[in-house]
Structure 1
């Protein structure tokens, strides 16, 4: 049925539905239960509702038709519920079940446990984007909410659903453990080393796979739609992932300030090398006005890590020149 939905929506804008028919259609759907979706209805009903919304939003401001403004508000509320329901359904499908039932971090072993370091970027597989039919349907709703002056509501709804979905995905990866006690100096080195190795894998999974998928989804649904804050696709994407991106960079920055001895340079350099790997992706993903702050944060954090690597190299060179013994400090505090 989805293919017929798409075909229908492509013909809606040129329709000639009468004003009274538009009023009747919106009124009839108002009486239906919220859980009954237009998305799941017949081709005729989908076409008729979308035509009705177009007719009302395109009516002249001085139209003599009564209750036009109220009917548009009713239609926008219905479309918002529709948008949330369809987007949430797709999120549940991608997650392999309702997001609210996904296992939390507490049910996994700690990252500090050597058995927990099990996620590798190369082996991590993400779910596919929703089908083209579903994306087209969501895009049509977003366009009509924009025409009805409710784009901000649509954007807020989108960010809420996708943030919840992304949070669930990252909980499975124990992302929260990177933000627990960011003072890296308090960790024993063995524990900090495991977290750093974990960060190397997680940073690439987030930036190159999870964030990239979110960017593509935003682009496909909101392409060409502009709100008061600029392109809606940029506002939605940055608003969805910015807190998680900040968490990644916060851990790396904390690590760079831990003043590790040069004997631990290899692990720190691995973090630096991973940072260099994701930087081009970060710049490409956040190449927008709302994303600029994240790019700056990433570059500043990378600079701090680079300074730490340089210091450790100098300490190592100094030790070699003065023939200082290289100590084994793996059991010392960081």
Structure 2
């Protein structure tokens, strides 16, 4: 048989009888069958894609392929994949065939349509794609695992019904929109049109992130701008940042990462590129603010806001690391870490400055009445607030040992517990600062000319210190032993005050008040007592004991020593001297009067000269 006839039979299936043995030859019928399928794909693509051609006259009447008919959207995407396979086939057969040109034109039309759909979905569903809705999904992993192939997602009513049982209506809508975006992105990327898709995504989503940060009040401030602010203005900025950063990280950036990972799950490089371009600039600006604050002019009142900033970043660090995991977002992690380091350095410097300020306090005027020194109030209020930050402070001073000439004495503060080293470090640091204050108060006490008043001053101030410890987290940090030891020290100061301030009054009475003495000696004792008591009362009536419990304790202690002894002497010798001239001037105080006079002490009210010299009958008072 001529070769021409053989070729004719081999290549033309329509002329080959079905019974011909050549029909079973594998190569020729298979080639013809594939070509037929590819042609069918081309015709089907023509019928599905062309009605959605943006250039047709009907385009203006159309809204969205995905909004109009989800089944058609599913068919559209499937036909694009089939068209892509047909194009590969036509290229392998004839790279300049008319069918390949038709397929390429259809593909361009399809990509224009999908590009438009992608833009419309992103733009029209901002509420369903807001970070709060997106981040409400359980995790990025669940978001990724819920989207397999788009053929299983688009229009899958069963899956959506299941989803609606476990997530809210908003999250359900969010899931559907995200699935649409993912399907379009997968299709465009696999068709070689990823750039167009990514460009649209970056533009729209970056504007949403920027708008979100703007609404949160996150501003782009320079270091010089912050340095020029007064404290009130800067504190407002810090408060706003503290209120915003948690939302920005856990909602805005977290939601954006979930959405980006979901939509571009087909390509890790695209996911990284999109998320980086969308979030990097805003995140660096957000985490740069604390560093500028840390570098600004330092003052004691800034300490607690700086600790707030440190704590905020520290608490959010796990999320920061998990969200900004890409190499291209390492600068975000680096900026957050740099701010954390700078804030820690600022806190350490401010603690050193605080200690130095206590030591350098140069006020030379004694506080009137031995009252609590302003330095004591300031330092203890400051330290009680610091104790509320013990956790974050422990982290900051972990590698900053206390350097002193000798360890704290055990009589002042027990050795740290090795099982709780971080707590011990902050405890030792705070105990040291209180010791610096107490040493300074010892110096302040020497400013008083009256030794008894200097002891009352020390008792007042140490009682205030102990009270602040007892009523704050300092109690937890310093421990019961520290507080008990210092309460005993208050009692010692009070006893010293009592001994020095009332010794003349106590010694004016006989050692044994009921022992027999001559009337002349009794008269002399009454005179000495009157003079000593009046002098002590007059002087101490302007002294102050602020703490009510301490004040009452001192009064009761004096009264227990004084009133019974005076009563015994008074009752034995008042009648002995009843015939004396000017008996009222000689015996000026009845025993019950002494308690009344003592009750007036330590309020800082002072006393007139006539009050203490009046007769016993005139100044006896009921209370």
When the two structures are superposed, what TM-score results if normalisation uses the length of structure 2?
Answer: 0.42
Work out whether 1:26 is the aligned partner of 2:49. yes
TM alignment of 1:182-197, pairs within 5 A: 183-197=225-239
State the shift of 1:257 in Å.
Answer: 1.3
Check whether the contact 1:129–1:213 (CA below 8 A) recurs between aligned residues.
no
State the shift of 1:83 in Å.
Answer: 0.7
Sort the Cα spacing of 1:170 and 1:297 in 2 relative to 1 into closer, same or farther, 3 A: closer
| CA distance in structure 2 between the partners assigned to 1:287 and 1:129 by the alignment | 27
| CA distance in structure 2 between the partners assigned to 1:67 and 1:295 by the alignment | 50
Cα-Cα RMSD: 2.7
Check whether the contact 1:259–1:308 (CA below 8 A) recurs between aligned residues.
no
SS of residue in 1 equivalent to 2:250: helix
State the shift of 1:133 in Å.
Answer: 2.0
Check whether the contact 1:22–1:51 (CA below 8 A) recurs between aligned residues.
no
Task: Tell me what 1:46 maps to.
Answer: 73
| CA distance in structure 1 between the partners assigned to 2:77 and 2:129 by the alignment | 27
Task: Tell me what 2:296 maps to.
Answer: 258
Within the candidate set 270, 279, 285, 1:241 is matched to: 279
Task: Tell me what 1:36 maps to.
Answer: 63
Within the candidate set 255, 262, 279, 1:213 is matched to: 255
Task: Tell me what 1:222 maps to.
Answer: 264
Check whether the contact 2:45–2:106 (CA below 8 A) recurs between aligned residues.
no
Within the candidate set 70, 95, 101, 2:105 is matched to: 70
State the shift of 1:86 in Å.
Answer: 0.8
| CA distance in structure 2 between the partners assigned to 1:135 and 1:241 by the alignment | 19
Larger radius of gyration: 2
Work out whether 1:299 is the aligned partner of 2:337. yes
Task: Tell me what 1:311 maps to.
Answer: 349
Deviation per CA, 1:197-224, whole angstroms, max 9, x where unpaired?
111111111011211111111122222x
**1 or 2 for the larger relative contact order (CA 8 Å, sep ≥6)?**
1
Task: Tell me what 1:172 maps to.
Answer: 215
State the shift of 1:292 in Å.
Answer: 1.6
TM alignment of 1:64-213, pairs within 5 A: 64=97, 65=99, 66-92=101-127, 128=171, 130-176=173-219, 178-179=220-221, 183-213=225-255
Q: Which stretch has the larger CA shift, 155-164 or 136-145?
A: 155-164
State the shift of 1:256 in Å.
Answer: 1.4
Check whether the contact 2:284–2:331 (CA below 8 A) recurs between aligned residues.
no
Q: Which stretch has the larger CA shift, 245-254 or 43-52?
A: 43-52
Check whether the contact 2:217–2:244 (CA below 8 A) recurs between aligned residues.
no
| CA distance in structure 2 between the partners assigned to 1:180 and 1:81 by the alignment | 40
SS of residue in 2 equivalent to 1:183: helix
Deviation per CA, 1:23-52, whole angstroms, max 9, x where unpaired?
332222112426521112224422331122
SS of residue in 1 equivalent to 2:74: helix
| CA distance in structure 2 between the partners assigned to 1:271 and 1:283 by the alignment | 18
Sort the Cα spacing of 1:80 and 1:222 in 2 relative to 1 into closer, same or farther, 3 A: same
SS of residue in 2 equivalent to 1:318: helix
Structure 2: gaps (5+ residues): 1-36, 131-169, 364-374, 379-623
| CA distance in structure 2 between the partners assigned to 1:129 and 1:200 by the alignment | 31
Deviation per CA, 1:113-166, whole angstroms, max 9, x where unpaired?
xxxxxxxxxxxxxx8585322221111100001011111221221122122222
State the shift of 1:195 in Å.
Answer: 0.8
Deviation per CA, 1:211-264, whole angstroms, max 9, x where unpaired?
1111111122222x12xxx43223222222212112212222211110312342
State the shift of 1:92 in Å.
Answer: 4.4
